[in-house]
Structure 1
Amino acid sequence: MIQGSVAPGFERVRDAFVENLTRQGDAGASFCAYVDGVEVAHLWGGEARPGVPWTADTLACGAAVGIGVAALVAQRLADQGKLDVDAPVAAYWPEFAAEGKGAITVRMVLGHSAGLPWFPDPELRVRLDRPETLLDSEAILRLIEAAPPVWEPGTQCGYHTATYGWLVGEIVRRITGKSLGTYLRDEITGPLGAEYWIGLPEAEHHRVAWMSPDPITDTDQFYKFLNADTPPGKAMFMSPHRRFGDMIRDGMNHPTFWRAELASRNGVGTARGVARLYAMLASGGELDGVRVVSADSTARHIEVQYDGNDFIWGNPLRVGLGYMRPSASVGMGPHDEAFGHPGFGGAIGFADPVSRVGFAFLPNRMVLALTTDARAETLASALYACLKPAA
């Protein structure tokens, strides 16, 4: 059953959402869109867990959607003059300079060119399919400090699939004295009334939808691409001899995974919460009287740092200071000025400052592809078809 509402003139969006849940076989999902700071669609339907309907309060893990949120935290600190993106990371985190990392800048970290997509971990102390290993943040930070760069920093761009969250998180903690998740709640999502967490409180665990892995993740063909010995598998901190589907079932659906703070992998929220963040950015940094960042800072942080093939995954990539930009791999509506971040499996949140759109789609049936998710594309096409031609 589809629930929620659309504003008059946006009925096509409801039709597209229905199509996703029927023809495209979604188990459950939620969608929300804002235009000019006003909510024009908020829809949900299907099952959050077997036999449990998706409701307006259901939370979903958007995986790397959280990288865009972490980028927003860094943007706010830079906008306030507390973070210099061209300073060495070691200026804030002195121990980071070990093993030839002293020249790595915050800009390199935010733009995925720092050369730290993984770190040596011969004892397998950190594995995403063993979520209890994600709670020992001090041990993880020591491993990062002791790691040499995989490539010469600043010379390649490779998606820091998991390490992005630890790197940005520690920079934020060194500056503010708060974890990234706590700072996010205190300074951004709390004032905005946006339900999105990095480090989900136990009291909210009952609201989380269970993720369903794409069947391809259990095949031999996919295992050859993503296993503990391939670059993508190293970046995902895969356990030896385990398949990606196992990581979804044993990792992403485990309460300990939701509780850990790893912005690049386990941000949890509602589609409305994500859409409010991007509606704020699309509206110049302010929503409902709450200013989070300046419009000028957004222009600086979405400036493309790299445009080419990803060193690790091989797909086309256009990236700013954490925010992804439209590319052959990531669609965000018709305007090149859009920015945001997709999540592995089909989730996405983005802002379009031209049409002043904030967009968020959170499904629990994961579909893996190196191009834009068809379900998100269906919803975006319907949304833009409802806008005035001038948009």
Structure 2
Amino acid sequence: MAQDLVHGFADARFAAAREAFEANFAEGKEIGASVCATVDGETVFDLWGGRADEARIRPWQRDTIVNVFSTTKTMTALTALLLADRGDLDVAAPVARYWPEFAASGKERITVAQLLSHSSGLSGWREPFSQDDATDWDKATRLLAAQAPLWPPGTASGYHTYTHGFLIGEVVRRITGRSLGTVFRQEIAEPLGADFRIGLPESEDHRVAELVQPGPGPEAGAAEMAEIPSITFRDTQPDGSRAWRMDVAQTRTRAWRGAEIPSVNGHGNARSIAEIHAVLANGGVAKGKRILSEAGSRRVLEPQIEGPDLVMGGREVRFGLGFALAPCPLFPLTPPNPNTIVWGGGGGSLVVVDLDARTSFAYAMNRMGPALLGDHRSFRVLEAMWRALA
């Protein structure tokens, strides 16, 4: 039955990766999902299957896309690294160099690198901030520019769950005169022919899979999924202010899909995510196009902050420029090579890039699990890939 649900291809060398993906459906752990990997810039498996809607009527097709939540942050980081590589952005410079209003309330020394590594002290809004406000770019950035940090910048990370994209996006807008979603699309996604958007046109709504929150029972794989440590985000920010939490139902609205929220509302599939991150895996080149210099692509490995995260329940994390550096206590797998970066989205989307083995791996699905950096569904496929490469 799983074979009937899963489509796409896998090189013979990666047959076990396909079998692992098929097992997710056979064991009732998925509704719909996609997985893809590249090695030396070549796609070695590209698989998808299941259903794209909660009612399980609409098939997950080759071009189905889904909101991947915080996997979007990796696209935001890539956009900033692109500007840095061109000399338009100095990540070590104060944010206020590009966004003068940001210097208010003692933030004049916060650097762009601290935004990228979640250590700026701006993990949330002090002022009341609602789900509807998330689609109001001017309000979101104006409030962040005016407020004081929630803890001393540079002393610890505190995951910038929603603020990350607004902060970096406003820096990008001040430099280029274009929104981050526009720069990303024009300078990265379109040159690579990658089907990933931050700000989705209404014409693409018919392709979007519905996110489904996990439910009880064996079909949801509850027992096995519970073995993955979930990320417990604080209900309050480190200063005691209330954190904004979104309703998954919001992701089905046109307002959410059409807005640019470069922390959490990117839409794509595993193919687009893996093929975009092949840029980092292959010294700045993907699909024959140079997007970054080799030195620029390796900047993701520059350590920025390490230790207990103030927002993610005190979990230990090592952040570079926009990605977690593995091995990392937050990510329970040990990669085969040291120069590996990882990040994911709430519910289970995941991207892993091994700069030593020149590989990129991505997973995107619509049934949400409890973890931030992947779970058994993606891990079993990733581990099968690593065994094949060994």
TM exceeds 0.5? yes
The residue number in structure 2 matching 1:57 is 63
Q: Is the 8 A contact 1:27 1:365 kept in 2?
A: yes
Match among 350, 357, 360 for residue 359 of structure 2? 357
- How far apart in 2 are the matches of 1:377 and 1:285? 26
Q: Secondary structure at the match of 2:170?
A: helix
Q: CA deviation at 1:186?
A: 0.5
Q: Residue 165 of structure 1: SS of its match in structure 2?
A: helix
Distance in 1 separating the partners of 2:362 and 2:372: 19
Partner of 1:10: 14
* Structure 1: runs of 5+ lacking an equivalent: 217-224, 239-243
Local SS of the residue matching 1:339: strand
Match of 2:227 in 1: none
Displacement of 1:307 in angstroms is: 2.1
Matched, 1:294 2:288: no
The letter of the residue matching 1:151 is W
Conservation of the 8 A alpha-carbon contact between 1:101 and 1:148: yes
Decide whether the 8 Å contact of 1:59 with 1:268 is kept in 2: yes
Q: 1: distance between equivalents of 2:110 and 2:304?
A: 15
Q: Does the CA-based 8 Å contact 1:332-1:350 persist in structure 2?
A: no
Identity across the alignment (%): 40
Deviation of 1:287 after TM superposition, in Å, equals 1.3
Residue in structure 2 matched with residue 323 of structure 1 by the alignment: 323
Shift of 1:133: 2.6
Amino acid at match of 1:67: K
Give, in whole Å, the separation in 2 of the partners of 1:68 and 1:96. 23
- Work out which of the residue numbers 22, 33, 37 in structure 1 matches 2:41: 37
Counterpart of 1:120 in structure 2 is 126
CA shift in 2, pair 1:184/1:370, >3 Å:
closer
Q: Offset of 1:119 from its aligned partner? A: 1.5
Partner of 2:251: 252
Q: Secondary structure at the match of 1:143?
A: helix
State how far apart, in whole Å, the 2-side matches of 1:364 and 1:45 are: 11
Tell me whether 1:97 sits opposite 2:99 in the alignment: no
Change (3 A) 1:267 1:332: farther
Do 2:350 and 2:374's aligned partners in 1 also have CA atoms closer than 8 Å?
A: no
CA distance, structure 1, for counterparts of residue 29 and residue 262 of structure 2: 28
Give the drift of 1:229.
Answer: 3.9
- Partner SS state of residue 210, structure 1: coil
Task: List aligned pairs for 1:219-298, cutoff 5 A.
Answer: 228-229=235-236, 237-238=244-245, 247-249=247-249, 251-298=250-297
Q: Normalising by the residue count of structure 2, what TM-score does the alignment of the two structures yield?
A: 0.89
Deviation at 1:236, TM superposition (A): 5.5
Shift of 1:352: 0.9
**Equivalent residue of 2:151, what SS?**
coil
Distance 1:378 1:61 in 2: 22
In 2, Cα distance between equivalents of 1:32 and 1:237: 32
Q: For residues 363 and 101 of structure 1, do their structure 2 counterparts lie closer, same or farther at Cα, with a shift above 3 Å needed?
A: same
Q: Which deviates further from its counterpart, 207-216 or 47-56? A: 207-216
Structure 2 vs 1, CA of residues 235 and 362 (structure 1 numbering), >3 Å: closer, same or farther? farther
2:339 to 337, 340, 362: 337
Residues 212 and 301 (structure 1), Cα distance of their counterparts in 2 relative to 1, 3 Å cut:
same
SS where residue 9 of structure 1 aligns? helix
Change (3 A) 1:33 1:371: closer
- For 2:138 and 2:106, locate their aligned partners in 1 and report how far apart those are by CA, in whole Å: 21
For the residue of structure 1 that corresponds to 2:52, the secondary structure is: strand
**Which residue of the partner structure matches residue 381 of structure 2?**
379
Q: Which is further off, 203-212 or 300-309? A: 300-309
Q: Contact 2:237–2:243 at 8 Å: present in 1 too?
A: no
Alignment correspondent of 2:176: 176
Equivalent in the alignment of 1:241? none
Question: What is the CA distance between 1:227 and its match in structure 2?
Answer: 7.2
SS in 2 for 1:53: coil
Structure 2 CA distance for partners of 1:309 and 1:209, relative to 1, 3 Å: same
1:194-230 CA distance string (max 9 Å, x none): 11111111111111111111248xxxxxxxx657546
Residue of structure 2 in register with 1:220 after alignment: none
Are the counterparts in 2 of residues 33 and 42 from structure 1 also a CA contact under 8 Å?
yes
In structure 1, what is the equivalent of residue 113 of structure 2? Answer: 107
Q: What is the one-letter code of the residue matched to 1:270?
A: N
Match for 1:87 among 79, 87, 93?
Answer: 93
Which string of whole-angstrom CA distances, capped at 9 and with x for unpartnered residues, describes residues 294-343 of structure 1?
12122223212122221111212111011122212224742221113211
In the TM superposition, what is the alpha-carbon distance from 1:264 to its structure 2 partner? 1.1
* Count of residue correspondences: 366
Partner amino acid, structure 1, of 2:11? A
- For the aligned residues, what is the CA RMSD? 2.0
In the alignment, is the contact (CA less than 8 A) between 1:109 and 1:168 conserved in 2? yes
1:161 is displaced (CA, Å) by 0.6
Take 1:375 and 1:163, find their aligned partners in 2: how far apart are those partners?
28
How far the C-alpha of 1:380 sits from its partner, in A, is 0.5
Aligned to 1:47: 51
